[in-house]
């Protein structure tokens, strides 16, 4: 039951992956008019935050994505922070699958009712979660949030779907 | 421990409420070029869907009339709107009523309770059987439409605000 209940994120990834495969890679580096980011940043951010929340905060391990991802894709970064080492769209698409496998493994092991070693509170007055279940819920919201933005970017850039 | 694990949902709903209240009502019925929906549709759809997941699947009454399904249910769009479809102020009021109802539900809900109507999709390998799984699914779904409301708002008001450097 526990196993099944935490699987929502994997469902989200099963919907996301084919949607990404339908995107013309040439669009990934274009910033839609009026926005600050692009599809490449959104995908890197989605991968980085899910790993930080689920492997880091929920499971108490080190996220497996390279530390450099934080400098390119953490909150408040943007494509202006990219450099020659920043993974391109195909590399991020590959990393997404690798990360999904890591998350699937950790989601099988987590106890949703377990308390976090420290509440997830990125700033004073903003308490996001005190339990593993709370982190998983927040992670899924975050995943949906950026998946929704990517769908919008893609349409605004003239892509279908 | 009923309710304890679920406190992600009130927090997520608060994000949606804050975003919706910041939206310029003048743009809620505009459909950005290339898109199919409007901010009004996205908010109605997010609200309808979360009550469907958290209440309807457990046979609990919703705060919305059943005809909301024909305006905001899956596969609908603003093309389905009628004169009786709630306007923006009505949707914001419905959001507050619904949030109170869901907060109340989450105070007493049993995360492991089996849903009376489980949600199963073979295509996406969705197998939502418990109240907890439905709440988790609702979090992802609200996030998706929150993201689209935020993006629509940005694009629809871009001509009025300076672009960040």
HEC sequence for chain B? CCCHHHCHHHHHHHHHHHHHHHCCHHHCCCCCCCCCCCHHHHHHHHHHHHHHHHCHHHCCCCCCCCCHHHHHCCCCCHHHCCCCCCCHHHHHHHHHHHHHHHHHHHHHCCCCCEEEEEEEECCCCEEEEEHHHHHHHHHHHHHHHHHHHHHHHHHHHCCCCCCCC
Best A80, A103, A137 residue to mutate vs chain B (most B CBs within 10 Å): A137
For the record, the structure tokens of B21 come out as: 């209240």
pLDDT by residue (tens digit) across B25-77?
999 999 998 899 999 999 999 999 999 999 999 999 999 999 999 999 999 99
Q: Which residue has the higher pLDDT, A106 or B125?
A: A106
Interchain CB distance below 8 Å, B146 and A36 = no
For the record, the structure tokens of A73 come out as: 């894709």
Distance of alpha carbon A80 from alpha carbon B51, whole angstroms = 40
Q: Taking 80 as the threshold, does the pLDDT of residue B1 lie above it?
A: no
pLDDT, residue B161, reads 47
Helices (H) and strands (E) counted in chain A, each on its own, are 6, 2
pLDDT, residue A4, reads 58
pLDDT, residue B7, reads 65
pLDDT, residue B123, reads 82
C-alpha torsion sign, points A145, A150, A155, A160: negative
Q: Work out the minimum CA distance from A28 to partner chain B, whole angstroms.
A: 17
Which residues of B are less than 8 Å from A7 in CB distance? 127, 133
Interchain CB distance below 8 Å, A149 and B155 = no
Interchain CB distance below 8 Å, B143 and A4 = no
Q: What average pLDDT does this structure show over B74-99?
A: 97
Q: How confident is the model at residue B121 (pLDDT cuts 50, 70, 90)?
A: confident
Q: How confident is the model at residue B79 (pLDDT cuts 50, 70, 90)?
A: very high
DSSP conformational letter for A57: I
For chain B, the average pLDDT equals: 90
Interchain CB distance below 8 Å, A145 and B144 = yes
pLDDT, residue A1, reads 41
- Taking a C-beta distance cutoff of 8 angstroms, is the pair B117, B57 a contact? yes
Question: Is A119 at the interface with chain B, CB within 8 A?
Answer: no
pLDDT, residue A7, reads 80
Using 50 as the pLDDT threshold, list the residues of chain A that sit under it. Answer: 1-2
pTM of the shown model: 0.90
Distance of alpha carbon B11 from alpha carbon A86, whole angstroms = 33
Beta bridge partners of A115: A131
Q: How confident is the model at residue B158 (pLDDT cuts 50, 70, 90)?
A: confident
Maximal C-alpha separation, chain A = 45
Q: How many CB atoms lie within 10 A of CB B63?
A: 15
Distance of alpha carbon A21 from alpha carbon A3, whole angstroms = 28
Hey, is A127 helix, strand or coil?
Answer: coil
- Taking a C-beta distance cutoff of 8 angstroms, is the pair B98, B47 a contact? yes
């Amino acid at each position: 039951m526990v196993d099944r209940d935490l699987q929502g994120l994997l469902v989200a990834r099963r919907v996301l992956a084919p949607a990404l495969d339908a995107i013309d890679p040439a669009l990934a580096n274009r910033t839609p008019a009026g926005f600050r980011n692009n599809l490449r940043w959104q995908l890197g951010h989605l991968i980085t935050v899910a790993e930080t929340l689920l492997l880091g905060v929920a499971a108490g391990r080190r996220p497996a994505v390279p530390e450099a991802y934080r400098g390119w894709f953490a909150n408040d970064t943007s494509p202006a922070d990219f450099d020659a080492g920043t993974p391109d769209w195909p590399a991020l698409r590959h990393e997404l699958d690798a990360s999904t496998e890591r998350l699937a493994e950790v989601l099988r092991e987590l106890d949703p009712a377990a308390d976090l070693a420290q509440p997830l509170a990125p700033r004073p007055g903003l308490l996001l979660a005190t339990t593993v279940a709370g982190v998983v819920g927040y992670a899924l919201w975050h995943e949906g949030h950026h998946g929704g933005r990517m769908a919008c970017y893609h349409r605004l850039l003239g892509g279908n779907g | 421990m009923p309710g304890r694990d679920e406190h992600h949902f009130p927090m997520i709903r608060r994000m949606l409420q804050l975003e919706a209240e910041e939206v310029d009502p003048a743009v809620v019925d505009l459909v950005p070029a290339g898109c199919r929906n409007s901010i009004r549709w996205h908010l109605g759809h997010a609200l309808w869907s979360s009550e469907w997941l958290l209440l309807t699947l457990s046979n609990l009454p919703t705060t919305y009339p059943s005809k909301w399904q024909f305006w905001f249910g899956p596969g609908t769009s603003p093309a389905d709107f009628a004169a009786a479809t709630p306007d923006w102020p009505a949707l914001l009021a419905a959001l507050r009523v619904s949030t109170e109802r869901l907060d109340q539900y989450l105070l007493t809900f049993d995360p492991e309770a089996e849903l009376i109507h489980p949600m199963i999709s073979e295509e996406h390998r969705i197998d939502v059987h418990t109240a907890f799984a439905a709440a988790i699914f609702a979090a992802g779904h609200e996030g998706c439409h929150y993201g689209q409301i935020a993006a629509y708002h940005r694009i629809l008001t871009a001509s009025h605000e300076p672009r960040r450097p």
